[in-house]
Amino acid sequence: MAGIKTKRIIISGGGTGGHIFPAIAIANALKRLAPDTELLFVGAEGKMEMDKVPAAGYEIIGLDIQGINRKSFWKNLILPFKLYKSIRKARQILHDFKPDVAVGVGGYASGPLLHTAVQMGIPCLIQEQNSYAGITNKRLGAKVDKICVAFEGMDRFFPKSKILLTGNPIRRESVDIRNKRFEAAELLSLSPHKKTILLTGGSLGARTLNTCMRDGLDRLAAADVQLIWQCGGYYYDELREALGNGHEGVKLTAFLHRMDLAYAAADVIIARAGAGTIAELCAVGKPAILVPSPNVAEDHQTKNAMALVDKDAALMVSDMEAPQKLVDTALALLDDEKRIKVLRANIGKLAIWDADEIIAREVLKLAGE
């Protein structure tokens, strides 16, 4: 329509798949709702988003920024200089692109970009994926216009008047599992008639989960249970060599490019408790055993997991207890049809399918203002 100004939206954040995939999902939703929208991403140089975002068809600019290194004091000495440099670059990006709204999804790059956008009077929205707010978003919460959250009770961290409960965006193609069990079994070289566990440690893999599965393979074989094992690229060669050719019914892979097939084939899912993973598990409605990573800020994965456990929607095994309990817990759950039925029903109630479009509409509202 003549006279309608094209909206320009900048989206910042990243560092992990848990930040990148929601950001891309929001961008895709914006393009569906307002196809003329111009989008620009800002990420951290050297991080996953610098590859994943262009692969999704969007332009991205990198900031030379890093997070706090909790293992080395000396590596943090350069952080103030990088922060100053990133804020200067963020100001230039915002000046050149002239966005109507800046969106932050958490991660290293969102801090400098959103901080600068607020100072420049640009309307800002942040999306907090976890049940325990990250340090960047907590600092931005009082300054931005809208805060989209995935869990209840987030007024502990943010002004209540700014909060909107939206859920976390999900990769829709990854959770479309309808009528795919037999297709999945064929493509994964598994039997559709045998009980199957899916273990996923996220895009980078998880050492504890991999160790538990390697040590429990004989018990899985004895129970005639199949395993789809996404181990991460870092661990793949070592595990491939350790397995050899002696484990029928085990599908080992560094990365699952078709999560929909893995979810469709699974009877029980074992996973870390990242917010994006939990959102997908709710959407697929399968019984899950969550093993929160201990290597995250504020132990937020345990808090994410407990949000489901408290609703009897998932089981949780701590990272410390996993070597002794994880495989036995999974086998016991596979044999407990009554428990499986309860978990399936309760986790399915928590699914929010259109979080990406709910958030995108809020972004467009801010752009309209």
Q: Which amino acid is at 292?
A: P
Say if strands 124-128 and 101-104 run parallel, antiparallel, or are unpaired: parallel
- 8 Å CB contact between 293 and 319: yes
Q: Which residue from 276, 262, 278 is spatially nearest to 316, judged by alpha carbons?
A: 278
Tally of CA atoms within 13 A in the half-sphere of 67 that contains its CB:
19
- What whole-number distance in Å separates Cα of residue 121 and Cα of residue 190? 56
Query: Per the annotation, does 178 bind a ligand?
Result: no
Query: Per the annotation, does 346 bind a ligand?
Result: no
Say if strands 288-290 and 60-63 run parallel, antiparallel, or are unpaired: unpaired
- What whole-number distance in Å separates Cα of residue 274 and Cα of residue 15? 13
Query: Per the annotation, does 253 bind a ligand?
Result: no
Is 131 strand, coil or helix? coil
Query: Per the annotation, does 171 bind a ligand?
Result: yes
Query: Per the annotation, does 110 bind a ligand?
Result: no
- What whole-number distance in Å separates Cα of residue 250 and Cα of residue 240? 11
Q: Which residue from 69, 345, 330 is spatially nearest to 215, judged by alpha carbons?
A: 330
Cβ burial, residue 193 (10 Å; 0-12/13-18/19+) = exposed
Query: Per the annotation, does 16 bind a ligand?
Result: yes
Query: Per the annotation, does 203 bind a ligand?
Result: yes
Residue 53's contacts (CB-CB under 8 Å, 6 or more residues apart) are 14, 20, 23, 24, 41, 43, 59, 60
Which residues are part of a known binding site for UDP-N-acetyl-alpha-D-glucosamine? Answer: 16-18, 130, 171, 203, 301
- As annotated, the binding site includes 16-18, 130, 171, 203, 301
